[in-house]
Chains A and B, each alone.
Chain A
Amino acid sequence: MYLLRLALASLNNRKFTALLTMLAIALSVCLLLAVERVRSEARSSFASTISGTDLIVGARSGSVNLLLYSVFRIGNATNNIRWSSYEWLAENPKVKWAIPISLGDSHRGYRVMGTDTGYFQHYHYGRGKSLQLAKGRPFNDVFDVVLGAEVASALNYKLGDSIVLAHGVSEVSLTKHDDKPFRVSGILAQTGTPVDRTLHISLGGIEALHVDWQNGVPAQSKGRISSDQARALNLQPKAITAVLLGLNSKIATFALQRQINEYSGEPLQAILPGVALQELWSLMGTAEKALFVVSLFVVLTGLIGMLTAILTSLNERRREMAILRSVGARPWHIASLLILEAFSLALAGVLLGLLLLYLGIAVSQGYIQANYGLYLPLSLPGSYEWSLLGAILAAALLMGSVPAWRAYRQSLSDGLSIRL
């Protein structure tokens, strides 16, 4: 115990260097943990976004692409599919339920999705949880909109509010559907998935928005159709973006996938969400590993910085060591003093790093969720993170033994005889 006190007192004597060393270690630890946390949270949030959907059908593109735009609202669809294809799918005896999805519009950076009420019933996330309405009810009018939890809280919308949707998916939109405002009819409970950042309207609503568009331009004065006029029109969609399918028998998945891929009506693609996720992970895996290795090297750099600081100080502390020896300290006392010094520096660095990490998460949580859709919880480190921290401390001990060994070998006379 007195050794630890001595080591700390000695460090106190070199406050500035010690503090800097500690800071270097803290920053590197913070980086390592942040990379690890973002990696694991990104995975789990992706994995918990879709559950219970057996097939996703869209226009032919790539399986990862289709998964990303239909479920995660990342990227855009390559093409729409015909309504008749949806009807063909929905009538298939292997299909239990089919949810049509229509994308392409937005509201202040949040995507708008046209669907039917089956979505609220059949869409599941996070191991079989279904969507719950926190307030209000699903849409039943053409101009009703159901908000995701984050849309409502970030933009401060209440039931009954009137909102204007925009054409395209940019955050600041210059082309707005301001002639046809929507009314908030319901707000969904928080799910922690992209559903929170989505505005849900009926397929008829999507049709109504674009009913008077001609050749890709909103109608001019004469051709304009008002909300009430639009209501009276036939708003049967002609095309949708994707379909989520639930099957009666999971064993029939491949059979139906093949049938859809070979559909003669139009080019369709069916993917298994689990397989597409796996493909996405193997893509991301390389980048993850690279980031992890880089942050490991940063930690190593921090530790080597500590080693350098201690080794340089050895020379100026020959006096200190010699005095300790002369009052009765044995060589192993000196050695353990140095190891303790390294260990306490690393421990303080790790603790400060953890503090920085949690501070960083607390500060940036809202921003990251709003901009990247990634929820970083303020949870205690998991077993893997603990083992990483343990490994850092062990490495510090190992490194501390280098100056310890050198001090151990220095003789008593080394510091007492002053050479000029």
Chain B
Amino acid sequence: MPRYLLVLLFLSITPSWAADVRELTWSEMIPPDAPVQETSDAPIHDLSKLADILSAESAPAATQQSPAAPVVPSLDGQLVKLPGYIVPLDVTDDGKVTEFLLVPYFGACIHVPPPPSNQIVLVKFPKGVELDALYEPFWIQGPLKAENSSSELADAGYLMDADDVYAYQQPAE
């Protein structure tokens, strides 16, 4: 008999417990008479303004490589072959690099400024080269164009429409 009573007790308790749930919205958790806070115009990370003040004290940000470093005009139009590392700019759907910058060393070393513009060749290679890793050197071959420009607005430096791009082999000792 007590067992039946227990069951009855459960039956009577459960629904009333369910009815007690109150659906709450997040805004109800803020007291209605809470003071409205003043909006501040300060940007999200205002502390960074400190850097502006400090910058007067510190050295000027990295003296930049001359963006229009002089080029050797006699190289213009010559058919050349040059080894270097590929920094991809434009990549085709199947992962081939069709436009890249050729640099003498790969940019892992951040202790010195990047190479000046006469140490960079902008290469266009419509056939595309498959690049497995950024740290592999390549030969580029083709006619070199040397463009001297005093303004920063034009492509100053060396350009090439490469005829061939192929992996660099360590020369035998």
A223-B36 contact in complex given A93-B152, A251-B155, A265-B51, C-beta closer than 8 Å: yes
Contact pattern, A 333-356, Cβ under 8 Å of B = 1, otherwise 0? 000000000000000000000000
Instruction: Specify which chain A residues have a CB less than 8 angstroms from the CB of B114 in the assembled complex.
Output: 254-255, 257-258
Closest to B117 in A: A251
B1-49, CB < 8 A from A: 26-27, 30, 32, 34, 36-37, 39, 41, 43-45, 48
Q: What's the Cα separation between A257 and B55 when bound, in Å?
A: 19
CB of B156 within 8 Å of the partner chain:
yes
Instruction: Flag if B87 contacts A274 (CB, 8 Å).
Output: yes
Those of A17-48 within 8 Å (CB) of chain B: 40, 43-44, 47-48
Per the bound structure, the CA–CA distance linking A272 and B107 in Å amounts to: 12
State whether A82 touches B43 (Cβ < 8 A): yes
Bound-state Cα–Cα, A54 to B36, Å = 45
A43 to B131, CA, bound (A): 13
- Do residues A43 and B133 form an inter-chain contact, with CB atoms below 8 A? no
Q: Which of B44, B64, B93, B117 contacts A258 (CB 8 A)?
A: B64
Q: Are B88's CB and A275's CB within 8 A?
A: yes
- Chain B residues within 8 Å of A274, by CB: 87-91, 97, 100
Q: Which residues of chain A are within 8 angstroms of B64 by Cβ–Cβ distance?
A: 255, 258-259
The interface on chain A, measured as residues whose beta carbon lies within 8 A of the other chain's beta carbons, has a size of 54
- Spot the interface stretch: A106-114, A181-189, A214-222, A324-332: A214-222
- Minimum CB–CB distance from B76 to chain A (whole Å) comes to 16
Q: What residues on A are CB-neighbors of B62 within 8 Å?
A: 258-259, 262
- Chain B interface, >50% SS class: loop
A81-114: contact bitstring with B at CB < 8 Å (1 yes, 0 no)?
Answer: 0110000000001100000000000000000000
Shortest beta-carbon distance, B36 to chain A, in Å?
5
Which B residues lie within 8 Å of A80 (CB)? 44-45
* C-alpha gap A364/B93 in the complex (Å): 23
Partner of B90 from the list A40, A51, A248 (CB cut-off 8 Å) is A51
Among A83, A223, A264, the one with the most B-chain Cβ atoms within 10 Å of its Cβ is A264
Identify which of B27, B55, B65, B95 contacts A255 (C-beta below 8 A): B65
Assembly CA distance A174 to B25 (angstroms): 10
Which among A221, A252, A275 is the interface contact of B117 at CB below 8 angstroms? A252
A282 and B64 CA atoms in complex are apart in Å by 31
Within 8 A of A (CB), among B108-150: 113-115, 117, 120, 122, 131-134
| A251–B157 touching, CB < 8 Å | yes
User: Can you list 17 A-B pairs with a CB-CB distance of less than 8 A?
Assistant: A44-B95, A54-B89, A127-B92, A127-B93, A214-B37, A220-B27, A220-B30, A222-B36, A238-B43, A248-B153, A249-B153, A252-B152, A254-B101, A258-B64, A264-B52, A266-B51, A275-B87
Contact surface of A with B, Cβ cutoff 8 Å: 40, 43-44, 47-48, 51, 54, 79-80, 82-83, 93-94, 126-127, 174-175, 212, 214-215, 217-223, 238-239, 248-255, 257-259, 262-267, 272, 274-275, 277-279, 281-282
Top 7 nearest A-B pairs (CB, nearest first) are A274-B88, A254-B114, A264-B55, A44-B93, A266-B48, A238-B43, A262-B61
> Other CB < 8 Å A-B pairs besides A127-B90, A255-B65, 15 of them?
A94-B152, A214-B37, A221-B32, A222-B36, A249-B67, A249-B156, A251-B67, A252-B117, A254-B120, A255-B114, A258-B64, A262-B62, A264-B52, A274-B88, A274-B89
